[in-house]
Amino acid sequence: MTAQPDRHAADEPRRPTVRLRRGLRPVTGQTRVTTEEIFFDVVFVFAFIQITTLVTAKAGVLGVLQGLLVLTLLWWSWSLFAWLGNRVRCNYGLSRLVLLAATPAMFTLAVSTREAFTDLPGGVYTPLVFVAGFVFLRLLYLALRLYATPSLNGRDLIALIGPMLVAAALLLLAASLPRSGLGERTVEVGQVVLWTVAVGVDYGVGLAVKLSQRAIFSVRHWTERHGLIIIVALGEVLVAVGIAGSNLRTTLGLLMASVLAVVVAGALGWIYFDLSALVGEYALRDADPARRVTLARDAYSYLHLPLIVGVILLAVGLKHTPSLVVASESYRQGDPLDQVGRYAMYGGVALFLVAHAAFQLRLSRLVVAVVWPRLLAAVALLAMLPLIARIAAVRALVGLTVVCVVTAAVEFAVSRRQRRGLRRALAEEIEHGPPDGPGPLRAPH
């Protein structure tokens, strides 16, 4: 099969020549996600499992906050490598070696996630292991980033190195808080505050820094990479169900809960990939270079985070479903979801839908019609929270499944014309290059 030109291939002669140092190759419009990047992303399957385990083990709001802070920190580290992988090919030379070295560092972070805040008796002091893994991972990123872009000025270096140093210092302070003198609860609250500031510094600087117009080289690679991480997150829902029910007898409740959980994950995946993935790719291809990198940052690096958080909270809620938890005296098959379970399950899916609506609006106004079903479904889920506190957990899962399936079906029905147009436009752009005039979906009817 002959390689087809990218949408902006015709623009390449007018762009500055991409110059990289020895041992690196630039990403082009035809670059796809590499096996090295997929291997790196597979680590997040285990990382997501560890985060749901952390949240489930520490009952209450504090456990949820700790899990979300770890997830937010890991997501930013992943995003940095996603940006770098869209500049230099990760299956060649030095970048390949760096990513292969970063993979065990990320896995070390995942292994230490459950004890990132509180060390369990025996073994090494895990909070410090987590900080060391975080610093090592960021140093690998910085080393390749600086080598790949020798033209960085002093302000760029400060923006790259400063947040890492501040975050590392705050995380180190959080890991070193003395528990004997301050009290367990005070230390846990202090850790959450320090972690929040560390995460805020990273994300705040990311918003404040002016992005280079050449930061995105391959729209196809960028959208494909984020689509794969969504699949990884949805896979965590299935893994959560499988692990939770692995020690239980095969009962009708277990089978029903398992099937319903898969349907919910499938509906959320349908909502993302059936239309939004097309809108994202089209919007980035259609935008000029300056606007493209801003859209990529806002819609993908930032607004994909609440999408991932919503899916992980869904997995946490499923782990609190009586039909799926390990048999104990505190649960019976007909019991309702506990407070953490129902807020995580219904609130997580509501967050996913709201973030998805924001993702769509930030990218394009081409298919605004699908935003309303998502927002109405999110409102319906939040309104159902008092009701599901009084019904069996499996029935609550049935209600969630109905809302997700109906939302996907309504979205599919109201966006048929736009979906066909987007697919046709993308196919034509890949085959023939960019159109001379306005895109065919710039003013859909």
> Is residue 355 helix, strand or coil?
helix
- Buried/exposed 270-306: b ≥16 CB within 10 Å, e otherwise: bbbeebbbbbbbbbbbbbebeebbbbbbebbbbbbbb
Give percent of the chain with pLDDT exceeding 90.
44
Q: Who has greater pLDDT, 19 or 136? A: 136
φ and ψ of 30, to 5 deg: -95, 0
Tokens of 136: 């090592």
- The predicted-structure confidence for 240-257, as pLDDT tens digits, reads as follows 777 766 666 777 777 888
Mapping DSSP to helix (H, G, I), strand (E, B) and coil, where does residue 26 land? strand
Summarize pLDDT for 335-352 with one digit per residue, the tens. Answer: 788 888 889 999 999 999
pLDDT over 80 (residue 433):
no
- Set out the domains of the chain in order of their start, with CATH numbers: 33-210 (no CATH), 217-435 (1.20.1410)
State the chain's mean pLDDT as an integer.
Answer: 83
Contacts of 94 (CB under 8 A, 6+ apart): 23, 24, 144, 147
Residue 209 has pLDDT above 90, yes or no: no
Least trusted range by pLDDT, from 190-194, 346-350, 419-423: 419-423
Provide the 3-class DSSP secondary structure of residue 158.
helix
CA 130 to chain centroid: 20
3-state SS class at 183: coil
Tokens (6 digits) for 436? 């001379």
Predicted TM-score of the model (pTM): 0.87
Please work out, in degrees rounded to the nearest 5, the angle formed at the alpha carbon of residue 48 by the alpha carbons of 43 and 52: 150
Residue 438 has pLDDT above 50, yes or no: no
Q: Is 66 in contact with 54 (CB distance < 8 Å)?
A: yes
Task: Using CB atoms within 10 Å of the CB of residue 406, give its burial: 0 to 12 exposed, 13 to 18 middle, 19+ buried.
Answer: middle
